[in-house]
Structure 1
Amino acid sequence: MAQHILLTGGGGYIGGTILDQILSLTNSPIKPKNLTVTLRSEQQIKALSDMSVHAIALDLNDEEAVKEAVLSNNVDIIVHIASALEPAIASHLIKALGERRKVSNGEAYFIHSSVTAAFSKENGWPFGEVKDTDTLYDMEKQLPAGHPVRDADILVTDVARAEGVISLIVVVPVVYGMGSGEFRRTSSSIPSFLRTSIADQVVHRFDKDAHPAMTHVSDMAALYILLLEKILNKAPLPMGEKGYYFAMAHKVSWWDVMQKLADALYRRGLVNEAKVEIWPSDEMAAQHLGWPRQFVRAMGTSSGDIIPVNAFKIGWQPKWTAERFLGSMDVEVQAVLEQGDKFQSTLYDSILNA
């Protein structure tokens, strides 16, 4: 019996790129006819329906509506991208999969999306360098409750175990590049810097450099698809408490990124000079970038000593390197100019809600 997939956030940056890649697959166990996509608006639903995509509007906060959607669409696998840091939503989806598993007598899988920033010293991670093959679940359980990312990670593993659902956690880094989805095609952090720099006519950086984990959106989507293919082919995978996947392709200096952005913006006449200034205060940075004040320092200066193992072990092969990324700043600028403020990220709202 074919296993059906539900993709949340199909109109977003990463979710839309995943959907686009799925639709372009040829020799793959993933079949578009077995895919359901959740979207935010009727206009988006119509656009994808015209492309023969089964798209639905679904309030992920409505537990009964989520259960009905999972059961009526015979969903066995959920790839959760939308509002992934809100524990209640993850719980609704996993419990719905638990109900589906009882009906189908088969396996059910939940692929959750976390973020790498949770594993940085600036975000209270006390264990230093860490691999995704380490006992991350046990390490996260040792920390006090209250961090939205770690709370969501723990909840996913615990609820999935209780419901008999197999969980995997993809730990998402800073994602960049032009998405290929039908709607939103820009990321969160770099467009924040670009829009602010254009508005202020000057590029700012934090007083402390950082080397965050980074991945191009096409490589990010490729990992989710690889996991889906492995699941459908019944291939062995790290799962449950061992099912963490650091989706890091490379690291890069934020200061180098800011200088490259300044150069690209100056060439277009969008800033007054190709010089990068230091933010006068974290409060000003949070206000101008639109980032949560309590997390702005960690978001702007954390690196995180993470080492990806599991994704590469199952065959993930990112195509983008740090050098290629730093040479693509004109693409980042053009993407923001084309999309403008049409699509605002809900990532920071999700963090605050969680």
Structure 2
Amino acid sequence: MSSNILITGAAGYVGGSIIADFLSSSSPVLKGSRITAAVRSDEQAKLLSESGINVLQLDLTDEKAVVESLVKHNINIVIHTASSLDLTLALNLLAGLAEQQKASGSKAYFIHTSGLSAFCPETGWPQGVMKDSGPIFETEKQLADSFSLRKTDVTITETAKALGITSFIVVPSTVYGKGTGQWNQLSVIFPIAVQASIKQKSVSKFPEDGNIAGVHISDLTELYGLIVKKILQGSGDTIPNGTHGHYFAIAHEMAWWETLGRLAAAMEARGLVASSETQVWTSDEAAAEATGVPAIFVEIFFNSSANIIVDNAFKLGWKPTWDKARFFENIDDEVVSVLELGKAKSSLIDSLFLAAKN
């Protein structure tokens, strides 16, 4: 099955890495498909075009433009990484896929990127362990009004079903590692922690420890690739999808205090902090000021965990190559990336401030 794949957020960390890894893949099915990057700005379009990438400069808030573009370019698979919070963008893309599906008669597929915070007790998710092959959608629907990410996930799944579009929701955990995209190669959580620590000359933690789930960017893009390959091989409607189609990208867990201790040791070795001993934030407001994350979200952002057992991804054949030991052995890479690349070119924090305001 030859397809035209549109990846939104292509100038971002995750979207850019998906494009780069897809284009460098040796997979015959991926090589046989046309991959297009959706970006916002002239500067982003110019950089990606000069790198030999098919680029579509598109305002995802403009439904008419989105629909016309998806039909014109015969897009039948969308991987949406531009925003997990802004429901309007996803609905516009679904409308475009629906029109393309009518015009071409070919099946359309939508892969949405959510966030692990929707599945954390800190945001109202039930305590206890749950498999991602279990009643994830039903639980999200019951709790949709209490957290915006859950509302977005549920609306996307139900809208896609009503339009006859097969949907999947990928839920990344804490992503680390240097990305492979052209525009932004920095993740979010660890670079912000590193930058705040450099500013303060110390690494700080919240008063209560917790486990966080992690995944290397290369393992995350591999999961997207597995879903797309199944679609291209004609089994996109037989693997878990729709109300059963949550795919959690959780490769391993790690204790947050231990992780920050390792980070502090790496930063002390480089003379970036005064001590390998971690400090404790005096308040959420102090953490917010140092990290630049809204106070209402700061502890969820850095210190939330989800008791989800990965099932769907492993059934697809997902085999993460990074575990906790490998991450800890290479944690200095997170510091080096910040020193080399500076601040991440991410709109996520802006989205959080908007959500906090609303």
Could you state the TM-score of these two structures normalised by the residue count of structure 2?
0.95
Count how many residue pairs are aligned between Structure 1 and Structure 2.
353
Q: Distance in 2 between matches of 1:63 and 1:218?
A: 32
8 Å CA contact 1:32, 1:53 repeated in 2 = no
Task: Tell me the alpha carbon deviations over residues 300-336 of structure 1, each in whole angstroms, 9 at most, x when there is no partner.
Answer: 3322111100000010110000011111121100000
8 Å CA contact 1:121, 1:128 repeated in 2 = no
Q: Distance in 2 between matches of 1:137 and 1:145?
A: 14
Q: Distance in 1 between matches of 2:335 and 2:52?
A: 32
Q: CA deviation at 1:32?
A: 7.0
8 Å CA contact 1:132, 1:310 repeated in 2 = yes
Q: Distance in 1 between matches of 2:204 and 2:127?
A: 31
Residue in structure 1 matched with residue 325 of structure 2 by the alignment? 323
- Going from structure 1 to structure 2, the CA distance change for 1:98 and 1:352 (only over 3 Å counts) comes to farther
Range with bigger deviation, 176-185 or 287-296: 287-296
Q: Distance in 1 between matches of 2:3 and 2:314?
A: 25
Q: Distance in 2 between matches of 1:130 and 1:275?
A: 35
Residue in structure 2 matched with residue 5 of structure 1 by the alignment? 5
Q: CA deviation at 1:149?
A: 0.9
Q: Distance in 1 between matches of 2:293 and 2:27?
A: 42
Letter in 1 for 2:327: F
Task: Tell me the alpha carbon deviations over residues 46-88 of structure 1, each in whole angstroms, 9 at most, x when there is no partner.
Answer: 2322333211211111111111111111000000001132111
Residue in structure 1 matched with residue 218 of structure 2 by the alignment? 218
Question: Over aligned residue pairs, what C-alpha RMSD do you find?
Answer: 1.5
Does 1:65 find its partner at 2:71?
no
Residue in structure 1 matched with residue 188 of structure 2 by the alignment? 188
Q: Secondary structure at the match of 1:241?
A: helix
Letter in 1 for 2:24: S
Letter in 2 for 1:344: K
Task: Tell me the alpha carbon deviations over residues 199-237 of structure 1, each in whole angstroms, 9 at most, x when there is no partner.
Answer: 111110111111111100010011101111110001231
Q: Distance in 1 between matches of 2:253 and 2:109?
A: 30
Residue in structure 1 matched with residue 272 of structure 2 by the alignment? 270
Q: Distance in 2 between matches of 1:232 and 1:3?
A: 7
Mapping of 1:25-40 within 5 angstroms?
25-31=25-31, 34-40=34-40
Structure 2: gaps of 5 or more residues = none
Residue in structure 2 matched with residue 134 of structure 1 by the alignment? 134
| % same residue | 41
Q: CA deviation at 1:144?
A: 5.0
Residue in structure 2 matched with residue 113 of structure 1 by the alignment? 113
Q: CA deviation at 1:44?
A: 2.6
Q: CA deviation at 1:135?
A: 1.6
Q: Distance in 2 between matches of 1:346 and 1:147?
A: 20
Aligned partner of 1:251 among 247, 250, 253: 253
Residue in structure 1 matched with residue 149 of structure 2 by the alignment? 149
Q: Distance in 1 between matches of 2:14 and 2:143?
A: 29
Letter in 2 for 1:273: S
Residue in structure 2 matched with residue 302 of structure 1 by the alignment? 304
- Going from structure 1 to structure 2, the CA distance change for 1:74 and 1:145 (only over 3 Å counts) comes to same
Could you state the TM-score of these two structures normalised by the residue count of structure 1?
0.96
Task: Tell me the alpha carbon deviations over residues 248-292 of structure 1, each in whole angstroms, 9 at most, x when there is no partner.
Answer: 000011111111111111111111111100001111111211112
Letter in 2 for 1:192: I
